[in-house]
Amino acid sequence: MPSPISPLIIALDYASLDAALCMADRLDPRRCRVKVGKELFTRSGPDILEALHGRGFEVFLDLKFHDIPNTVASAVQAAAEQGVWMVNVHASGGRRMMTAARERLETHNLDTRLIAVTVLTSMERSDLAETGLDIEPMEQVERLAALALASGMDGVVCSARESARIREICGDSFLKVTPGIRPANGEAGDQRRIMTPADAMAAGSTHLVVGRPVTQADDPMAALVAIEQELATRPQGQ
Ligand SMILES: O=C(O)c1cc(=O)[nH]c(=O)n1[C@@H]1O[C@H](COP(=O)(O)O)[C@@H](O)[C@H]1O
């Protein structure tokens, strides 16, 4: 199947396999990828991956592994062996954890994209301070993105506000997968470091993760099409 040209990844944050597939069946696998996260996977297990793959979707399995190196490497291998397009770990798990995951994929000839979460988009400076890091999110994101690159990651999860800086430090081909995407005047909800779809692409994001602005909209398809149109009409070269 040809890879979709769209940078959109729709977060299927639903409580059941049926609800997630109901949304997936309204999406076109040539126009977006989909993300399966902790709630859906915990409820439905690998069946959801099989069902989405059967419908032609490339799947980002977002379980944000964070554990000792051997445990994370084994979990990443298990995800990749189920054919997912992308999987993630927490960069704060450190160099040895990330390197072990990368080596495990290479040993088994698995080409799943492996990316690392830097600082969650729901966190701002005061949240970081409570964890003992009295610095701006940008500073910690820069540090963890550089560590992720040095540890063999294909890219990072960050907010779009950090994409431009990460592009400078880590290059164009290093993936910048950015949640916290909100159309202008959209509800931030629990997100803190947000950006509009067009601004995020202009800032250098390579992929946009969009959940509630689509899944909680009165008309999810209309919300998705509006984002597609915003991206299609953004000035070229940005
Ligand atoms: O790894 C992620 O996908 C992720 C990282 C992060 O820092 N922030 C973040 O929101 N996410 C995920 O991205 C999605 C965002 O959903 P909405 O806020 O509903 O658009 C959710 O599924 C989150 O779990």
Q: Domain residue spans in the chain?
A: 8-232
> 95 near 150, Cβ under 8 Å?
yes
Dist. CA 123–CA 130, nearest whole Å: 11
Mean predicted confidence (pLDDT) in 73-80: 98
* Ligand 1 touching residue 162 (CB < 6 A): no
Q: How far is the CA of 115 from the centre of ligand 1 (A)?
A: 14
H-run or E-run covering 44: helix 38-44
Position 192 pLDDT exceeds 60: yes
Q: How far is the CA of 36 from the centre of ligand 1 (A)?
A: 10
Q: How far is the CA of 179 from the centre of ligand 1 (A)?
A: 5
pLDDT reported for residue 3:
52
* Ligand 1 touching residue 13 (CB < 6 A): yes
Residues identified as active-site:
62, 64, 67
Q: Name which CATH class applies to 8-232.
A: alpha beta
Nearest to 203 by CA among 158, 148, 150, 146: 158
Dist. CA 192–CA 120, nearest whole Å: 9
Kindly provide the ipTM of the predicted complex, given to two decimals.
0.98
* Ligand 1 touching residue 40 (CB < 6 A): no
Tokens 């995020």 -> residue: 200
- Beta-strand relationship, 59-65 and 33-36: parallel
Classify burial at 99, counting beta carbons within 10 Å of its beta carbon; exposed 0-12, middle 13-18, buried 19 or more: middle
Mean predicted confidence (pLDDT) in 2-21: 89
Q: Which two tokens stand for residue 196?
A: 């509009």
* Ligand 1 touching residue 37 (CB < 6 A): yes
Enter the pTM of the model. 0.96
> 116 near 90, Cβ under 8 Å?
yes
Residue ID of nearest Cα to ligand 1 atom 11: 179
pLDDT reported for residue 185:
83
pLDDT reported for residue 238:
41
Give Cβ neighbours of residue 202 (< 8 Å, ≥ 6 apart).
234, 235, 238
Position 237 pLDDT exceeds 70: no
